[in-house]
Structure 1
Amino acid sequence: MTIERKLHLNRVGGASLVNSPPVFSHDGKLLFCTCGPTVKIFSTNTGKCVQRLISLKGDITGVVLHPRNKLQVITSTCQGELTVWDYEDGISLQSINVSWNISNIASHPNISDYILICTGEKRSGVLRKVWIDSFSGAKTRTEEVATRVSMTMPCPIGFLKSGEQIVYIKKGDKICVMDMERSVEANVGRKDGKITCFACNPIEDYIATGHVTGRINFWYNLGSGADTRHQSALMSSNHWHSHPVSDVAFTPGGSSLLSVGSEGVLVEWHYKRGDDRNFLPRLSASCRHVVTSNDGSMWVVTHIDNSISIATNQYQVKHSIHGLSAVDICDRPSDLTFYYDHRTKSCITTGKTGHLMFYDPNADQELYSVDITHENCLGQLQSKEKLYSEITRVCTQVSEDSDSSWMATVEVSKMEKLNNASRMKLWVLDKDDKWWKLNTVINDAHKSEITRLCFRPTNSDTDQSYLVSAGADGLVKLWGMVTKGGSSHWSCTATASYRKLPAVHCDFSQDGSVLAVAFRHTVCLLDPLTLDITRVLLSNDRSNPVEKLVLGKFSCQHMIIIVSEKSMQAFDLLKGSVSWVVDLHISHIAVDYMSEFMFAVSDVNDLYVIKPTCAEPLYTHRQLTENNVFSIFAIPYSDSDRWLKDDCSDIPWLARSKLYVTDSSLSVFTLSVSDNMQNILPSIGGSQDSRFMNPIAHILEKSANVSTGRGNLSELAAHGADVSSTVKAITDSPAHILPSVTEYCARFLTSFLSNLKVQEAPVSCSNAPVIENQAVAGDSSKLSPNSDCLILESVTAKSPQSGQMDFLHGL
């Protein structure tokens, strides 16, 4: 059966949080971070995302505070779109389009007439003014200010004092100060190297520049026409960083300077007191940007591992915000990119160095991170020399029937001029502490690279957990729990090999009764407890080794999909023969754990949805992304995705799970019926600050706390089958655009009756209605006044949760 319905690929998460510097709100309670086509707004008190600004005109390249309104921000996109947003309500107010690609944007609170944009790409750009009045519907008015502006700076535009003078860097070694009357250039000596960043003092006439040599220079009186030919404007020079300075920023009072680099240390320079300085060490990774709040009480540092640290001016990290890590993508094994975890209904990938991240793609956020290697993070340059342990394999226990949940990891220590040492670790989830604890460490489990790890699925018959590891040394090992001396640990219980060929991949059947192992171009079926070979299958493409193999699920449990470099073939274990062969190079393949369908991506980024028993794909999507596909995985729908599940109920392979695709930039995409990203992103109303809620949301929040003891609106909405979408529409809509109560009240009440139907026999208000357990459309326009009374009575009688009606009476 081929699906003719067209689906759309929408970007719903991932991307980089640190491409441009974050921006504090005026009161310092919110932090604006660009992330692909969205601006994520984080609360500095909780570190949670409380709002999203979604652009439909390309990736957002910068965000600034509106110089005329403290409750608005202005964003720029790579497509030349400038938009004014009401960030509390998350709606766009005004937009204009210029004729150039915008790479950076800047504003100053004392300049209310215009904002500055940098247009151009690569290293050199053009600086232009855009008048604020252009947003009110008047003709777009721009003016060119400067050319050959260095675009390699974290913030290529700066302002001196009251904002009347503009500062930028030209050709990497010239500081340019410009106002309406004159332009001054200060040549930087070659001994300090090129400028990597700069900052302007908000109070005095100071400019600080960071250099590739790690030196920081302070310049004075540049904006007053000083004689810069003999560097008389150079006031002082400081040096602590051993690598290029990534970014610098003055505190609001201008008394000190903050600097960061690849050392992962924030340095505060009290430059007026000589070489006096303080440090905030041991940050998560090499630093990229540093920003201060308007009152100077908080500092924000971004890192190259796509994380953000919110620290206080007392040198304490308050919150850490983590996105999908984008460091050393090309060095990671493809099997570790995104691994599905059945227990948390999330995926596992590498986070910061030596850590595993449990990432929830439905909410686009990190659930938690586990330190696997327990090693200190070295600087960026040292890490490139492989002086650390790298996680190469990970797997978790598939079944939830077992009393214990296990996770296995493999890490390899890569050091120059030394042999690589590997360690396989078994972790158990402590039910009391709700955290992973190390149980067993096995050094050099295989003589060479471990190519695959997989747990045997457990069932009600067997509670014993088993782990299988396949290695390039040609061995397949079965690991089980052994009790000795009152303690339990993992030990090898059986081994197997086939003609000394390397074992490249393995997989268990859904019930755990069959283990399939690929030895180069041969696939062997083994007994899962003894590892005895029971059957040998020869690949149709014997000239190329097997790259991946996957066993079918549910009605396709008897099928094996084998992928080699030039073909994909299906074996029928019941017939003992090849069912079909397709000459196609598949780079990624994933299974839907809730159905019998599989997803395959070719080397040209074409997606195929297949059922192992049929050679013809059910659905084909050409050219998923412009970048290379990094990974694909399917995640079962969560409670907040019920409305999306209903939209895809007629598509069998999207009825139970949601398909995600990630590309080389670690942007996360999903296939959906809607072509609007705003319609498929999950609601974040439950985590919003109270000041972001409208009056209806406040009533629901208060009622939920009283009746259920919980303050999560999504949990309250889950009481009804279709009520979640109605609650989402009411609570997420700004107060000033909500319709009248008469328009949405009836629809809101009838949403609780999605599974009820009144019989066609005529009834009256005095008679009790007859209810059938059948679905009906909740259209309030078709209900008579009498039926409204009956519906309210039936809801009260039908619903076992008293909290459902408590807050309705409050309305």
Structure 2
Amino acid sequence: MIRGGKSMVSSPPAFSNDAKKLLICTGNTVSVFSTSTGLQITELEGHRGLVTSVIVVPASTPASKILCYCWTASLDGTIRYWDFSLPELIKAIDIRFPIFFMVIPDIKEQEQPPNNLGGQIRKCNLTQSRLANGVTLAETQNPEVITICSSGKYIGIREKCKIRIWEVPAKDSKNAVLKKIRLHHTKKLSILAFHPTERIIAAGDLTGRILIWRGFGHKTFSIGDKSIKRGLMKNEDERPGVRGDDDADSCTTWHWHSAEVKVLFFSSDGAYLYSGGKEGVLVVWQLDTGKKKFLPRIGSPLLYFINSPDPSLSSISCADNRVHLLKMPSMEILKSIAGIKLPWSVPEISKGSYNGLLDDREISEVQVCERNHQPGDEVTVIVTLVALSQDGSMMGTVETKLPEEGIGGLVSLKFWTCGAQNKNFSLSTIIYEPHRDAGVSAIAFHPTRHIAVSSSYGGDFKIWVRNHEIQQKDQVLQNAGWTCHAVGSYKKKPMTAATFSADGSVLAVAAETVITLWDPEKNVLVAVIGESLEPIVRLSFVGKSEYLVSASQGSSPQVSVWSMSKLSVYWSYKLHAEAIACAMDDSCFAILALLPKSLNYTESNKTMLQGTDDGVILLFNVGDPVPVVTWFVKKSKGGGLAFLHINPASLEENLSDEKPAPVLLAYINGDHEYVLFDPYGEQAPECSVTRQGNLVGLEEAGQFGYTSIYGELPEFNLKRNQTPSVTFVPSEKPWETIFSGSSHNLPPLTKLCTAFLESLLQKRTAVLE
């Protein structure tokens, strides 16, 4: 089983002490990426639940920056200690409660987890692998994100319109004195941040305002400190912006963001404050003056901003499941680590994307509609349908522009062509309102020809044909686009689903509750079969098209198998099918069905359902109504299935100690996480995956001398067209490109010789005791 598509932005990432690695929480694992190449290096596997926190143990000395230790916390109730350079699990601590967030005040002693009924902030002694006796810092109605100051002395949480701040007790004692304060605001707060060196705390609210309290806790946390007590302001009128008797010297409000502030972070020297949110703009505030500058057009709402130990490198996590590495202070985007886009519309799984699926890497991106990211809450354009041809060379999309105040709605059908070399899709044809003012219910491509069909809720379907490519005098091929070849309808009923047979000789279109069979060449109705109680929403031919599978949804959902030779139902089940996938060269098919409890899905029970099995994948042989095998799955609502018919030779490079299967079944859940597995295997063991993309830069591989400058010598092979199994990733060492370019751009000889001679020396790492 190969897993991928995990969210990379469910929790804040963490940099290694040398800033060469970025640790990202990805589902039940932590993925380690190279900051120089943006490629995955390794993975920390062991947690049985969602990993909610990753914290790198800070280096105590400059020489210890090479040490790679981290703590992770998970909803499985465990805290784990890793050496992520190997990677190897060193120890695990069972807290017995789901851990929603974790902070570490210092290296020796440690923090919290909230429980599953409400929220608790607990202290844990990591050196003794136990919860601190009797030390419960706070209880909250819901688990809250904990923020800690850099010194580890104070922690804080937001609670509706208040900030609660505690002074962390140093001893695991029931008699430990817990000092705490509250700071109040008129709006609900969304995030907070501590200044690295001074008693300053910043908080953002849901309206886009940023509040900065200076001198917080002087009265409460500084008892006995005479130097601070002398500086306290006793006159209430001399505390501008502070509400009531809040323990702070002043409170300042800044307002630029138009919506909720999601990112708030002080620079390492405390001179600047970074903020961001739904606008997709990173704002940098000068703390003393309030002046600001911007990194605009990031293209997605911002979630987290993290500084690295290297002041010239930071990361920003975005809601589109992408992590950008930034060059500071210019805020230039150096690299981007991208996952599958998080759910907006359900994507199709491409038959031609095996390398991307096996390596869990994005290989291409298509911007269906040209529009900049807008921070407004109202969605104006939705991609409602995506369909791919069997060979992956063509794609069809449908986008709907929602009407404003009942007017201005627009449906667009677009056809795309995939490039032979770069595998990127380019727009071929746009058809506005392809079915008048009605919505498009389905798109299907002919298996062997450049023909497609679109069905409409307005009561018709259209067959589209791509014109032949025209050879111009300059020898450039130009596509003439797609045109309508034929139009069909049946008793003015809504056409709700469509599919071609395996050889393309039969077109099946669902006319609401019946299935119509057409000759696509002549556009002639051949037969009408079936009569379901609910509208049919999915159709798919099985194998050589001897059988047809249909799925209807409504109060009485049903999955039916139809015999094409008898034009009658073969067998059926009362199931709510979320997706159907049929093997092209076999007589089997798979159904993703929702369990009854998931049919009543709401936001209120979302958390409960995501932790339990709410769906089932059933694999059938078309001639037998008894499932061949069954898998229970999570997050099935909005999920999809697809059979991947692959070349075993191409998979051998990605799977070790495992005989590659000719057919894999891909399941993608409602959160766009996917699993690839052999549906015919007795078990679905975790495969040992060797990702071609998981390459470390040469500076991390420890190469030196000739190879550090020119790379490895290629092996001599008589097969000229043989494709190398390892992709060369150039290093960022300055001398690798120092001999390239025009002569007037070469550096002086003194710099050239120094870099060259250093590259010939083998470097040894010495650990200081």
Same fold (TM over 0.5): yes
- Counterparts of 1:620 and 1:537, CA distance in 2: 33
How far apart are 1:278 and its partner, in Å?
Answer: 0.8
SS of equivalent residue, structure 1 residue 361: helix
Query: Which among 554, 560, 577 is matched to residue 569 of structure 1?
Result: 560
What do residues 59-96 of structure 1 show as CA deviations (whole Å, max 9, x unaligned)? Answer: 21111012467411111111221111111112211112
Q: Structure 1 residues 224, 52: CA separation in 2 closer, same or farther (over 3 Å shift)?
A: same
Q: State the one-letter code of the partner of 1:669.
A: V
Match of 2:398 in 1: 410
SS of aligned partner of 2:127 = helix
Deviation by residue 1:344-389 (Cα, 9 ceiling, x = unmatched): 347xxxxxxxxxxxxx33222211111110111111xx2x4222x2
Partner of 2:744: none
Q: State the distance in 1 between where 2:123 and 2:180 align.
A: 20
Q: What CA deviation, in whole Å up to 9, does each residue of 1:170-207 have, x standing for no partner? A: 5651341414486555543434x233211112223322
Aligned to 2:365: 369
Q: Are the equivalent residues in 1 in contact too, given 2:181–2:217 (CA < 8 A)?
A: no
1:432–1:101 CA distance, 2 compared to 1 (3 A): closer
C-alpha separation in 2, matches of 1:201 and 1:281? 25
- Contact 2:215 / 2:248 at 8 angstroms: preserved in 1? no
Matches of residues 502-517 of structure 1 in structure 2 within 5 Å? 502-517=494-509
Q: Deviations over 1:302-342 (max 9, x none)?
A: 222322222222122222222233344xxx4xxxx232323
Contact 1:125–1:150 under 8 Å retained in 2: yes
Within the alignment, does 1:237 sit opposite 2:253 as a pair?
A: yes
1:206-232 alpha-carbon deviations (Å, 9 max, x no partner): 222222232222222325435682664
Whether 2:460 is the aligned partner of 1:475: answer yes
1:435 partner amino acid? N
The structural deviation recorded for 1:690 is 4.4
In structure 1, the residue corresponding to 2:82 is in which secondary structure? strand
* TM value normalised by structure 2: 0.77
1:438–1:296 distance in 2 versus 1, CA, 3 Å? same
Letter of the structure 2 residue corresponding to residue 452 of structure 1? A
CA distance in 2, matches of 1:97, 1:484: 64
Q: Equivalent residues in 2 for 1:304-319 (5 A)?
A: 304-313=319-328, 314-319=330-335
Q: Amino acid of the residue matched to residue 396 of structure 1?
A: L
Alignment of 1:258-269 (within 5 A): 258-269=274-285
CA distance in 2, matches of 1:233, 1:217: 13
In structure 2, C-alpha distance between the alignment counterparts of 1:342 and 1:11, rounded to whole Å: 16
Superposition pairs for residues 21-60 of structure 1, below 5 Å? 21-60=12-51
* Runs of at least 4 residues off by over 6 Å: 483-487, 643-649, 674-677, 701-704
1:129 aligns with 2:126: no
Whether contact under 8 Å (2:655, 2:690) holds in the other structure is: no
Structure 1 residues 588, 635: CA separation in 2 closer, same or farther (over 3 Å shift)? same
Counterpart mapping for 1:56-205 below 5 A: 56-67=47-58, 70-108=67-105, 111-121=106-116, 125-134=119-128, 144-148=135-139, 155-159=145-149, 162-169=151-158, 172-180=161-169, 185-191=180-186, 193-205=187-199
Aligned pairs (5 A) from 1:643-662? 655-662=661-668
Letter in 2 for 1:609: L
For 1:529, which of 514, 521, 525 is the aligned residue? 521
- The aligned amino acid for 2:71 is I
How far apart in 2 are the matches of 1:341 and 1:134?
50
The letter of the residue matching 2:582 is V
Q: Aligned match of 1:450 in 433, 440, 445?
A: 440
2:223 is equivalent to residue 215 of structure 1: no
Q: Which residue of 1 aligns with 2:294?
A: 279
Aligned residues of 1:41 and 1:50 also touching (Cα < 8 A): yes
Superimposed CA distance per residue, residues 83-116 of structure 1 (whole angstroms, 9 cap, x where no aligned partner): 11111112211112123221111125xx221122
For residue 749 of structure 1, what is the aligned residue in structure 2? none
Match of 1:738 in 2: none
Give, in whole Å, the separation in 1 of the partners of 2:635 and 2:464: 42
Contact 2:163/2:184 (<8 A) preserved = no
Percent identity between matched residues is 22
Of 430-439 and 43-52, deviating more is 430-439
> Which secondary structure state, in structure 2, belongs to the residue aligned with residue 115 of structure 1?
coil
Pair 1:595–1:530, CA change in 2 (3 A): same
Between 126-135 and 48-57, the greater mean CA deviation after superposition = 126-135
Aligned to 2:581: 590
Q: How does 1:245-644 map to 2 (within 5 A)?
A: 245-272=261-288, 274-313=289-328, 314-328=330-344, 332=345, 337-345=346-354, 360-379=356-375, 382=376, 384-387=377-380, 389-399=381-391, 405-417=393-405, 418-431=407-420, 434-447=423-436, 448-458=438-448, 465-482=450-467, 488-534=480-526, 536-539=527-530, 541-553=531-543, 556-565=544-553, 566-593=557-584, 595-604=586-595, 605-621=615-631, 623-625=632-634, 628=637, 630-637=639-646, 641-642=651-652
Letter in 2 for 1:369: E
Cα 1:99–1:525 change in 2 (3 A) is closer
The one-letter code matched in structure 2 to 1:477 is K
Q: Secondary structure at the match of 2:652?
A: helix
| Mapped contact 2:202–2:210 kept (Cα < 8 A) | yes
User: Is the partner of 1:570 in helix, strand or coil?
Assistant: strand
Distance 1:677-1:66 versus aligned 2 partners, 3 A rule: farther
Do the aligned partners of 2:390 and 2:447 also contact (CA within 8 Å) in 1? yes
Matched, 1:664 2:670: yes
Q: Is the 8 A contact 1:168 1:177 kept in 2?
A: no
Q: Quote the Cα distance in structure 2 between the aligned partners of 1:361 and 1:206.
A: 46
2:529–2:567 contact (8 Å) kept in structure 1: no
Contact between 1:67 and 1:107, CA under 8 Å: does it hold in 2?
A: no
What's the CA shift for 1:589? 0.9
User: 2: CA distance between counterparts of 1:584 and 1:678?
Assistant: 30
Code of the residue aligned with 2:412 in structure 1: it is R
SS of alignment partner, residue 362 of structure 1: helix
Q: Distance in 2 between the 1:702 and 1:595 partners?
A: 47
Q: In structure 2, what is the Cα distance between the partners aligned to 1:101 and 1:557?
A: 49
> Structure 1, residues 715-773: CA drift from partner, whole Å, max 9, x if none?
5499xxxxxxxxxxxxxxxxxxxxxxxxxxxxxxxxxxxxxxxxxxxxxxxxxxxxxxx
* 2:750 corresponding residue in structure 1: none
Higher helix share: 1
Question: How large is the RMSD of aligned CA atoms in angstroms?
Answer: 3.5
Task: Name the CA distance, whole Å, in 1 between partners of 2:387 and 2:352.
Answer: 12
Rounded to whole Å, the distance in 2 between the matches of 1:128 and 1:680 is: 38
Aligned residues: 652
Q: Distance in 2 between matches of 1:626 and 1:467?
A: 31
* Cα 1:100/1:246, change in 2 over 3 Å: same
Q: How far did residue 468 of structure 1 move?
A: 1.3
Aligned-partner Cα distance in 2 for 1:526–1:648:
44
Name the CA distance, whole Å, in 2 between partners of 1:14 and 1:312: 27
Q: CA deviation at 1:607?
A: 2.3
Query: What is aligned with 1:687?
Result: 695
Asked whether the 8 Å contact 1:292–1:299 carries over to 2, the reply is yes
Structure 2 Cα separation of the partners of residues 666 and 374 of structure 1: 23
Q: 1:104 to 1:150 in 2, by over 3 A?
A: farther
Describe the shift of the 1:51–1:143 C-alpha distance in structure 2 as closer, same or farther (beyond 3 A): farther
Instruction: State how far apart, in whole Å, the 1-side matches of 2:636 and 2:263 are.
Output: 29
Cα distance change on mapping 1:290 and 1:491 into 2, 3 Å:
same
Give the aligned residue type for 2:639. Answer: F
